[in-house]
Structure 1
Amino acid sequence: MQLQQFHTVRLILGDQLNAQHSWFNRVDDQVLYVIAELHQENTYVTHHVQKICAFFAAMAQFAKELRAQGHQVLYLNLDDTHDGTQGYSDLLTLIQHQVTQVGAIKFEYQRP
């Protein structure tokens, strides 16, 4: 996906895959939803590898469903966010990069 300019970047974390959230009531081509698999997600607590795979698969499926509804979604898999590839050492670095890259003036996230 070639990134265009967006006025808002919205972060969706893996435990916030709620299609009923008010964010998704209206499609806005100027809002970019970012869903990212991060290495820190599978290292902060020991998880079974199958659980991690299921978690990431659910995130990918959610991104696909949002796209099908017409939302602009940037889905970054674990390879995309690995330190050696993009330099996203943590979530804050990834957010700062994406907001800057698309020229967003607003960043939104859901409360944990």
Structure 2
Amino acid sequence: MPVHELIPLRDLQSCCAPLTRAPLSAENAASLASSLKAIAAPARLRILSMIAAHADGEACVCDLTEPLGLSQPTVSHHLRVLVDAGFLEREKRGTWAFFRVADGAMESLTGILGS
């Protein structure tokens, strides 16, 4: 089975018409499936929600571990998956990394899935 390169979510919308307007190519379907798989985990959906609802719209691992009840390495893994899929952006500040929902990520997803 060939490994498909993940197209970031923001780029996927620019190359793909909404599902209801035109069939997806095999390559774009594989990439979209990878993006959807990235948010299919309950912990990742909670992370997206927690970051989006956070006071500043951003959070670091230290803000997420206790509310999620997960270890720091596990939360970091989930954050990396969400960054790689294009749902989150990461900004390093000193020794900490802060995460925020990527500009247009949710709109891109609803645009592809919508009419």
- Using the size of structure 1 for normalisation, the TM-score is 0.27
Higher share in strand: 1
Larger Rg, first or second structure (1 or 2): 2
- Using the size of structure 2 for normalisation, the TM-score is 0.26
Q: Which structure is higher in RCO with an 8 Å CA cutoff and minimum separation 6?
A: 1
Higher share in helix: 2
